[in-house]
Amino acid sequence: MLENYFVTAIGTDSGKTVVSAIIAEMLGGDYWKPIQAGYPRDTETVRELVSNTESKFHPEAYLLNTPASPHASARIDGVNIDIESIKLPQTENSLVIEGAGGCLVPLNDQEVVADLIPQFRSRVVLVSNLYLGSINHTLLTAEYLHNKGYSVKGIIFNGEENEESQRIILKKTQLRYLLHVKKEQSINREMISKYAELLSNNW
């Protein structure tokens, strides 16, 4: 069954782009980042990492110049992000949608990244990078998603192995474990394909 998956995270630089590439590779699905703030473009990164021939890469609805929170970047560019104007790309494929920054990063004075989830009728994949303090940040994000009633497919961990952090996060959130992307020396197509195969076992 074709579905939309919204990849969000507990913060910035959590590994959403790599995770999005892994999911797109596994599904043979399309990729779309509706709001990009700063360069290089994550769309180009994912395009370089995905090796299947089915995935298509759709242009951003907002391509902003400054690497900052989307609301701040848009203000610098003299743009107002209107989420009602953002329309899903036309595709007959599953669609992997990558959010900007963390779940509650503001898009404008009213709306945050997570407000795009119901608009795009998406299931959520939550990325949690493992660092000191990530338990609190992950539990807060999971609670927010739960309270909003958003459908969460599961959680993907990223970074150095920390079995106790992963155990307590899974216990407290009751989210499904999907994958752990370990710290790799290089990120390339072979690495993405390896993790796509691992992810397929838990999907």
- Residues classed as catalytic: 33
Q: Which regions of 21-94 does DSSP assign to beta strands (E)?
A: 30-32, 35-37, 57-58, 62-64
Distance CA 99, CA 94 (A): 16
The residue type found at 51 is S
167 neighbors 161 (Cβ within 8 angstroms): no
In degrees and rounded to multiples of 5, residue 30 shows phi and psi of -75, 160
Q: How far are the Cα atoms of 46, 97, 159, 186 from residue 4, in angstroms, in the given order?
A: 17, 7, 25, 28
Distance CA 90, CA 92 (A): 7
Structure tokens at 188: 């390339």
Enumerate residues 6+ apart whose C-beta is below 8 A from 158.
Answer: 14, 15, 18, 19, 127, 128, 129, 130, 180, 181
